[in-house]
Structure 1
């Protein structure tokens, strides 16, 4: 698809975790809310023991990843849901199955929902942190590289003394932004992303880090890949919820991009 850019705001790093073999063998079910947890599991020496456990998962992507690795899925909600909704569904639909069972919640360091707290009265649940998501330290380097390309093209277009002075001013501004530890967010926004840009966010942390570097333009549209991320969006922005369907999010973004401009900046608050 044309005009699509992937901005790697987070770097996922697996953690060299420890788990006692006897404890793992005592687990009845595992709980997975991200494909990143599966990646870390498969690198562990007890990966085959993990795969013997039926999994409760969130999201079609996580479900398919677990099944491709050879695991079985006990339960996956038909619709996209956040952690609190998953806990409620588990209590409502799986109570007879999970009651007093040993469940291992395999997760990342940053958790949007405390599932252990929500489920502790229903089952014996323990969490195991197997990965973490860190801010991409090369983010500004990537932005600077992009700016360098823009500056090069600007330089080729200099045809007058006035434009040269304007270019020099712009060049100095870019240099300040990309060397400052706290870059001018408004300036970054104006240079890097035009009005009516559309952004797809996969997690609340992606959105939070994006806002750290870019002042939000009210003509932009944010699309979430799930309820938790959608709920993390600020109230006053244009937003849609793709409910875990990345391909559909891309299709909708492309359709909106080719549609009429958002001249009136009317709010978009619904799911699709």
Structure 2
């Protein structure tokens, strides 16, 4: 059988996430049906072409299974119920307000705009490494929609899609410096703008400028830490998901770290910013959904 993780990466799906622990492709329940249907056709065609058998469960997820009959569907339904009961009360925390099943929200950062206008006329392409950059840019101009967009990950590409634009390229490596190297050949001899926050945590701009890509930084916003009046006391054995270096700073300003805590880093760049005493695991993919999957399957 073909490696399903590799197949998922090659397809660059935005609205299905491969969960290797449950061996199924989990559908984004919040996406538009017409958009997800196109990916459904793409995914099922690829599975069939590789002679990988599957069926669709009651949640609309594609379950990899050698059999497709009533008993397999019933068995999967029971498995889904048990999985839900087992995980619904776990202390997994996301440090934002995004709702992900099985995770609790502990918002610790906000973004503050620092520009109210921008001229993009002279740029051949735009680079985005966060969905916040897309949101802030769209709030001040529609000019960006006419310029090719290059997104670091599926999460950023999904935000671009929400504004009616399809990303020209979605990164495979999903990490800042590696993403830059993916772009070198694609953007050779072009003038591009890196749209993002005031603080940059990768070497993306330097790498591009050193390799025949003229890249300028347009900082649209800054990240602000929410500081609570009292330190937050989380339960023992909590698992905390960190999606950026800013969330690490904000967390340690507001919460006393316990030795029983475990951390999930969304990617390699974020992982570099943890204190040495923190037990960190890296998610398999740079999405919050993948972070939660990792958290649910950590061994004690």
Matched, 1:113 2:229: no
Q: Equivalent residue of 1:13, what SS?
A: strand
Alignment of 1:46-125 (within 5 A): 46-47=141-142, 49-81=143-175, 83-91=176-184, 95=185, 97-121=186-210, 122-125=212-215
Q: Equivalent residue of 2:164, what SS?
A: coil
Residue in structure 2 matched with residue 228 of structure 1 by the alignment = 269
Instruction: Tell me, in whole angstroms, the C-alpha distance in 1 between the residues paired with 2:173 and 2:217.
Output: 24
State whether residues 173 and 179 of structure 2, in contact with CA within 8 Å, keep that contact through their aligned partners in structure 1. Answer: no
Residue in structure 1 matched with residue 131 of structure 2 by the alignment = 35
Number of positions where the alignment pairs a residue of Structure 1 with one of Structure 2: 199
State whether residues 12 and 133 of structure 1, in contact with CA within 8 Å, keep that contact through their aligned partners in structure 2. Answer: yes
Residue in structure 2 matched with residue 131 of structure 1 by the alignment = 221
Q: 1:208 aligns with which of 249, 255, 264?
A: 249
Q: Equivalent residue of 1:223, what SS?
A: strand
State whether residues 37 and 130 of structure 1, in contact with CA within 8 Å, keep that contact through their aligned partners in structure 2. Answer: yes
Instruction: Tell me, in whole angstroms, the C-alpha distance in 2 between the residues paired with 1:114 and 1:17.
Output: 26
Residue in structure 1 matched with residue 82 of structure 2 by the alignment = none
- The runs of 5 or more residues in structure 1 that have no matched partner are 141-177, 179-187, 263-272
In the TM superposition, residue 30 of structure 1 has moved relative to its aligned partner by 0.2
State whether residues 264 and 294 of structure 2, in contact with CA within 8 Å, keep that contact through their aligned partners in structure 1. Answer: no
Task: Give the structure with higher Rg (CA).
Answer: 1
In the TM superposition, residue 120 of structure 1 has moved relative to its aligned partner by 1.3
Q: TM-score, normalised by structure 1?
A: 0.67
Change (3 A) 1:10 1:254: same
Instruction: Tell me, in whole angstroms, the C-alpha distance in 2 between the residues paired with 1:71 and 1:27.
Output: 17
Matched, 1:13 2:112: yes
- The runs of 5 or more residues in structure 2 that have no matched partner are 1-87, 92-102
Q: TM-score, normalised by structure 2?
A: 0.61
Which has a greater percent of helix? 1
In the TM superposition, residue 223 of structure 1 has moved relative to its aligned partner by 0.3
State whether residues 31 and 105 of structure 1, in contact with CA within 8 Å, keep that contact through their aligned partners in structure 2. Answer: yes
Residue in structure 2 matched with residue 238 of structure 1 by the alignment = 279
State whether residues 80 and 227 of structure 1, in contact with CA within 8 Å, keep that contact through their aligned partners in structure 2. Answer: no
Q: Equivalent residue of 1:25, what SS?
A: coil
In the TM superposition, residue 255 of structure 1 has moved relative to its aligned partner by 4.1
Instruction: Tell me, in whole angstroms, the C-alpha distance in 2 between the residues paired with 1:209 and 1:15.
Output: 20
Q: Which is further off, 2-11 or 217-226?
A: 2-11
Q: Equivalent residue of 1:129, what SS?
A: strand
Instruction: Tell me, in whole angstroms, the C-alpha distance in 1 between the residues paired with 2:197 and 2:235.
Output: 34
